[in-house]
Amino acid sequence: MSLPYRDALEGISPYVPGKPISDVQRELGLIEVIKLASNENPFGCSGNVEKVLKDALSDIPLYPDGNATVLREKLAEKFGLKPEQFVFGAGSNEIITFIAQIFLNPGDESIYADPSFTWYYTAVKMSGAKPVAIPLKDYTHDLDAMKNAISDKTKIIWICNPNNPTGTIITAQQLNDFLSSVPKNIVIVLDEAYYEYATGENYPETVPLLEKYPNLIILRTFSKAYGLASLRVGYGMASSEIVSYLNRIRPPFNVNTLAQMAAVAALDDQDFVNNTVNETKKGLNFLYSAFDRLNLRYVKSYTNFVWVETRLASTELFNKLLHKGVIIRPFMGNWVRITVGTQEQNNRLITALEEVL
């Protein structure tokens, strides 16, 4: 029997998440396993979150607030925007899907960097549009090449800043120059999942740009620095007009009650976020020193992970480390992505790397 699967599915592979600790323990008979593959927060989440989740259990039989009112108002106050300028998703990847659905028709084109977050490709393909991949230059977005790839069919440009998996940024000046040169009828999506780790130096503060560029959408998440990955809370900031269209296709109650309450509580504990960022920077410096000693090439990161090249194929290194109870993320060729862990986890990673290499 032949079923009518959409042609757009051709070329799309299922998203492969980082291997769970429990699977490795069961498959390899290991007791102690550390996971440095999915850029989760090794320092947990705010104590405020743990308390509010216990108090929220009585609300489980009830539907969530479909408007995410409290969280919406909290973020509006934090960023100086109107409440109607926010859209929420079960992770920012869900909002990426919404964006592709409201702007792309079959035959349209959408530009993104490669390698970058893989969900851009999937969302574009499933909308029937053509993904246009532009290779990175010096491990970051080649904005000139992206601009040159614009055609009358281009509807969306995706910019992952900092970029996943390389951890690099485009600077405030580079972004301003790019935004001013792109036609105003093309939507530009700035995916800032690692915003909290990157702020400072030359990293752009993009919220003030929303007023000048009504074609701009900014995406952020509570999964990384806030440590709420399992609860799936992402949010987008854009013009009220764009958000109104996104809400037309957003499923009702897509962000659950516990997730909303946890996000509100997390916002009240910026000390936790600051500590996470500071400890992550210490961890990065420790890893850089170890990689230098091991003569490994790596890219300086503005995130909680680092892009590293070794002398082994990435899948081979992944499997060798797996048997030592360390989970990393293999990518192309000899390149792997490694999440910064606690100091104890970082020590264990380096010990395992030394043994394997």
- Concatenating the DSSP letter of every residue in 232-300 gives --EEEE--HHHHHHHHHHSPTT-S-HHHHHHHHHHHT-HHHHHHHHHHHHHHHHHHHHHHHHTT-EEE-
C-alpha distances (whole Å) from 294 to each of 278, 279, 319, 337, 351 are 25, 23, 19, 16, 11
Pairing relationship of beta strands 305-309 and 297-299 according to DSSP bridges: antiparallel
b/e per residue 326-345 (b: at least 16 CB within 10 A): bbbbbbeebbbbbbbbeeeb
Angle between the N-to-C axes of helices 257-267 and 47-55, in degrees from 0 to 180, rounded to the nearest 10: 140
How far is Cα 351 from Cα 190, in angstroms, rounded to an integer? 37
Assign 123 to helix, strand or coil: helix
| Burial of 166 per CB tally in 10 Å (0-12, 13-18, 19+) | buried
For residue 225, what pLDDT band results from cuts at 50, 70 and 90? very high
What percentage of the chain carries pLDDT values higher than 70? 100
Query: If you ran DSSP here, which 8-state letter would residue 19 be given?
Result: P
Give mean pLDDT, residues 102-128: 97
DSSP sequence for 201-228:
TT----TTHHHH-TTEEEEEESSSTT--
For residue 207, what pLDDT band results from cuts at 50, 70 and 90? very high
Per-residue pLDDT tens over the stretch 291-310: 999 999 999 999 999 999 99
| Burial of 118 per CB tally in 10 Å (0-12, 13-18, 19+) | middle
Tell me the two tokens of residue 288: 């850089």
Mean pLDDT over the full length of the chain: 95
Tell me the two tokens of residue 43: 């320092």
Give mean pLDDT, residues 173-197: 98
Structural domains in the chain, CATH included, are 7-45+271-356 (3.90.1150.10), 47-267 (3.40.640.10)
How far is Cα 204 from Cα 193, in angstroms, rounded to an integer? 14
Per-residue pLDDT tens over the stretch 230-267: 999 999 999 999 999 999 999 999 999 999 999 999 99
Tell me the two tokens of residue 113: 């960097």
How far is Cα 89 from Cα 95, in angstroms, rounded to an integer? 6
Q: Over 90: is that where the pLDDT of 27 sits?
A: no
The whole-model pTM stands at: 0.95
Q: Are 328 and 319 spatial neighbours (Cβ–Cβ below 8 Å)? A: no
Q: What are phi and psi of 106, to 5 degrees?
A: -55, 135
Pairing relationship of beta strands 329-330 and 335-339 according to DSSP bridges: antiparallel
Per-residue pLDDT tens over the stretch 165-181: 999 999 999 999 999 99
| Burial of 114 per CB tally in 10 Å (0-12, 13-18, 19+) | middle
